[in-house]
Amino acid sequence: MTPSRTPLRTRLRTLLTGAAATATTATLLLAAPATAADPPLRDLATTKAKVIGTAVTGSKLTATYGDLAGTQFNSLTPGNAMKWESVEPTRGTYNWTEADQIVAFAQAHNQQVRGHTLVWHNQNPAWLTNGTWTPAQLGTLLQDHITTEVTRYKGKLAAWDVVNEPFNEDGTYRPTIWSDNLGTDYIAKALTWARAADPTAKLYVNDYNVEGVNAKSTALYNLVKSLKERGIPIDGVGLQAHLILGQYPSSLQQNIQRFADLGVDVAITELDIRMQLPSTDAKLTQQAVDYKAVVDACVAVTRCVGVTVWGFTDSDSWVPDVFDGYGAATPYTENFTPKPAYYAIAQSFGGTPSAEGCAATYSVPSQWNTGFTGQVTITCSPGRSLSSWKVSWTYGAGQRVTQAWNATCAQAGASVTCVNASYNGTVPSGGSVSFGFNGTWSGNNPVPTVTLG
Ligand code: 9MR
């Protein structure tokens, strides 16, 4: 079949059937988002016995943000909602609204929840940090806080980040309101109180810059070792993984393995990989390599339970607020387009790499008694491109392609295969290419599933 202009007869029919045709196209485009991997990340992760999680903001869990959070991930971490300043802004007055909302959303979507976080030096309520307390009073306040919050969600959470960020970079204990007043054994106490309030939640110590083997991660290792020797309840370590483009810690898998060998689980709890803005195709490609390396390391170690990204879209990331000129750290753009990093995660969990980041959609712009005009659009995400393409589908109701333009199509039985013309094989990063065809139908004209590859 040779490329040609749309015949006059077809154009007239397009005009005549315009309203119905527009509706058909709109429906098809809505029903067939060109941007999601198939299957979703959570299904892929499950095949590797891992969880894929994201930090979320409760108020955003509607529309596209809610759809993606619910369908792509099987674990949620409240980004801020369970922190002490959020749940007890005034002494004795609790606000569980956002935390409850996130837990309810997770239950409705068959997701785990990681509680975050019970003991930290940040995001404590002003009444606590500005108060004057004896060590004994602080101990009681902390015990009450842990007991109240853990009891509220007893049996509902998979895990708690009980203690957050206890170490300095050199592996010494960070001076905080807790270590200064209660000594470093506040960690053992916090874990013991959490276990008493919910015997089923896995209890973690969580920190950043502990992804590779270094002084800080060795301090965490020694802490866990001594807690276990003392019989203090400790189930896992959280490696936050707030990384910088191109600075993947090459000893990550070895580090995960040494904690596993100690007898605790490991979770990547806050993964993001920031870059200097603006993002470019080259940076997004490097970011995908880095994301894949992190997820691969988790997949390689049985006791690594999974990976949580710290916000799944760039519009919900802490990075631009804190690192001037940096951003684009998550797997989705601000407009919810999956980035190469998204497809890299999918690939780590066993997704197919072919044409990843590009997708084809089939629509029927016009249709009349025995004929129709079809259109296929191939779209690539930012950072992904094609230099040639082949699209195929199988008709389910006896349709036949009679003529195509901007592609060379062949039909054998019900199977149609179309390849690019000499002049339109390139689908640019973030761009699209379309081709059209005329066909015949009778009875009905269902939309086939289209494969790009
Ligand atoms: O994502 C959180 C952001 O909205 C808050 O402003 C910030 C305040 O400290 O905390 C962010 O989350 C942090 C997490 O709780 C612990 N590890 C570092 C995260 C990024 O700062």
Q: Name the residue with the closest Cα to ligand 1, atom 3.
A: 318
CATH number of this structure's domain 358-452? 2.60.40.290
* Range scoring the smallest mean pLDDT among 6-15, 95-104, 410-419: 6-15
pLDDT of residue 358: 86
Q: Active site residue: 165, 211, 229, 334, which one? A: 165
Residue 123 CA, ligand 1 centroid: distance in Å: 9
Nearest CA to ligand 1 atom 7: 318
Whether 57 lines ligand 1, by a CB cut-off of 6 Å, is no
Average pLDDT estimate for 156-182: 98
Query: What would the pLDDT profile of 368-397 be if each residue is shown by its tens digit?
Result: 999 999 999 998 877 778 888 999 999 999
123 lines ligand 1 (CB under 6 A): yes
Q: What is the DSSP letter of 175?
A: P
- Whether ligand 1 lies within 6 angstroms of the CB of 54 is answered as no
Ligand 1 probe mutation, 273, 318, 321, 326, most atoms within 8 A of CB: 318
The answer to whether residue 23 scores a pLDDT higher than 60 is: no
Ranges in the chain annotated CATH 3.20.20.80: 39-348
Q: What is the mean pLDDT of residues 157-167?
A: 99
Ligand 1 centroid to 441 CA: how many Å? 57
CATH class of the 39-348 domain in this structure = alpha beta
Which residue out of 83, 98, 122, 330 has the highest number of ligand 1 atoms within 8 Å of its CB and is therefore the one to mutate?
A: 122
Least confident of 11-25, 47-61, 92-106, 144-158: 11-25
372: number of Cβ within 10 Å: 22
pLDDT at 355: 59
pLDDT digit string, tens, across residues 295-328? 999 999 999 999 999 999 999 999 999 999 999 9
79 lines ligand 1 (CB under 6 A): yes
Report the alpha-carbon distance of residue 173 to residue 186 in Å, rounded.
11
75: Cα within 13 Å, side-chain hemisphere = 25
The protein residue whose alpha carbon is closest to atom 13 in ligand 1 is 79
Q: How far is the CA of 95 from the centre of ligand 1 (A)?
A: 19
pLDDT band at 125, cuts 50/70/90?
very high
Q: Closest ligand 1 atom, CA of 208?
A: 17
Query: How far are the Cα atoms of 69, 173, 290 from residue 329, in angstroms, in the given order?
Result: 17, 29, 11
Window from 3-7, 244-248, 333-337 with minimum mean pLDDT: 3-7
Q: Is 200 in the pocket of ligand 1 (CB under 6 A)?
A: no
Over residues 148-159, the mean pLDDT reads 98
Per-residue pLDDT at 386: 86
Residue 5 has pLDDT above 60, yes or no: no
Contact between 240 and 270 under an 8 Å Cβ cutoff? The reply is yes
Whether the predicted pLDDT of 18 surpasses 80: no
Q: What is the pLDDT of residues 240-275, one digit of tens each?
A: 999 999 999 999 999 999 999 999 999 999 999 999
Q: Is the peptide bond before 331 cis (omega within 30 degrees of 0)?
A: no
Is residue 229 part of the annotated active site? The answer reads no
Encode pLDDT of 48-83 as tens digits. Answer: 999 999 999 999 999 999 999 999 999 999 999 999
With beta carbons less than 8 A apart as the criterion, state whether 405 and 4 touch: yes
pLDDT band at 354 (very low <50, low <70, confident <90, very high): low
CA trace torsion 165, 166, 167, 168 (10° rounding): 80
**What is the distance in A from the centroid of ligand 1 to the CA of 50?**
24
pLDDT at 25: 31
Tell how far the Cα of 311 is from the centroid of ligand 1, in angstroms: 11
Q: Give the pLDDT of residue 384.
A: 78
Q: Above 70 in pLDDT, residue 126?
A: yes
Q: Taking 50 as the threshold, does the pLDDT of residue 2 lie above it?
A: no
- What local confidence, expressed as pLDDT, does residue 215 receive? 98
Which ligand 1 atom is at minimum distance from the Cα of 310?
1
Round the average pLDDT of the chain to a whole number and report it.
90
pLDDT > 50? residue 290: yes
pLDDT for position 281: 85
pLDDT, residue 17, reads 31
Mean pLDDT of 135-149: 98
pLDDT category at 153 given cuts 50, 70, 90 is: very high
- The C-alpha R_g of the chain, in whole angstroms, comes to 27
Higher local confidence (pLDDT), 21 or 227: 227
149 noted as active-site residue: no
How high is the pLDDT of residue 351?
Answer: 85
Nearest residue (by CA) to ligand 1, atom 16, is 164
Percentage of residues in the chain having pLDDT higher than 90: 82
| Ligand 1 lined by 80 (C-beta under 6 Å) | yes
CA 124–ligand 1 middle distance (angstroms): 12
Tokens 């013309």 belong to 421
223: pLDDT confidence band, cut at 50, 70 and 90?
Answer: very high
| Candidate of 59, 76, 80 to mutate for ligand 1, largest count of ligand atoms within 8 Å of Cβ | 80
Q: Is residue 191 a contact partner of residue 199, using CB atoms and an 8 Å limit? A: no
Pocket test for ligand 1, best of 310, 315, 321 (most atoms within 8 A of CB): 310
Residue 381: which residues within 8 A CB-CB, separation 6 or more? 35, 337, 338, 339, 340, 343, 357, 358, 429, 430
